[in-house]
Amino acid sequence: MTSSGTRKWTTADIPDQSGRVVVVTGANTGLGYHTAAALAVHGARVVLAVRSLDKGNAALSRIVAAKADVDVTLTQLDLSSLASVRRAADELRSTYPRIDLLINNAGVMWTPKEVTADGFELQFGTNHLGHFALTGLLLEHIVTVPGSRVVTVSSLGHRMRAAIHFDDLQWEHNYSRIGAYGQSKLANLLFTYELQRRLSAGKAPTIAVAAHPGGSATELARNVPRILRPLNALAPLLFQSAEAGALPTLRAATDPTVEGGQYYGPDGLGEQRGHPKLVQSSAQSHDADLQRRLWSVSEELTGVKFPV
């Protein structure tokens, strides 16, 4: 594989994935779908972890139609319900003795004020706490696998009005859909970096990596505030495709030169579009005290303890 300095990274650079078991959350559409499809085409045994089995089956059919000999299955997973997360984790653990790659991709963005089944603010509960719990529950089946990875999808939104509001994590006062999204995406990065620290300390053969898609045209935009909705018609001009947006995740998941604690995003202006490269997240995301505090609170809220 050529380095990013000599040629742009594309799906053609994905090494053979034969023998790898991959779980992709939110794989029925958008970034998750294209991530799962590319990994399946390159030989991985891919599990589409999706909330809607009907949409998941439709996605599975599309992947199989493109290449008939792929190995793709479904698991029902609703990240906004810890009970669903536990059921999905139980199913995955019983079916797959080893998991080579977990891609925490699913998410919601800029939603009206809502809470999850467990009473968490919807964006924080789904984007961060759901994935935190899923990772913790699956990790014993990941850390025994040489070359295994946990890839979590963040966003440029981790810089937008972003802070971890420990005094009001669930946004019970003065809700801001943009601020809550920023908090959840910042949490994705804090989680990744703290997980990597713990994996390194335990000398696990697993790495934790993050990625972001830049500006990508996906269904996440369905909750955009009404005043901005006319911009949806311009999405094809302003944003890259979901297929292109999946490239940073795919590189983080498969490039053999990737190291734990790295962050990948598009190489274009403002990291909005382009081919994947190593990028930098905000200074706040690298605050070790913030990482540890969020980890502790997340364990308390989810009841999930990590084996590292």
199: CB partners within 8 A, 6+ apart? 143, 206, 207, 208, 260, 308
Query: Which pair of structure tokens corresponds to residue 198?
Result: 């713990």
Taking every pair of C-alpha atoms in the chain, what is the biggest distance, in angstroms?
A: 52
- What burial class does residue 183 get, using C-beta atoms within 10 Å of its C-beta: 0-12 exposed, 13-18 middle, 19+ buried? buried
Reference 268, options 245, 243, 236; nearest CA is 245
Choosing from 33, 96, 175, 181, the catalytic residue is 181
Number of DSSP helices (H) and strands (E) in the chain, helices first: 10, 8
State yes or no: is 33 an active-site residue: no
Distance (Å, whole) CA 162 – CA 296: 19
Sign, CA dihedral 56-57-59-60, equals positive
Residues with active-site annotation: 181
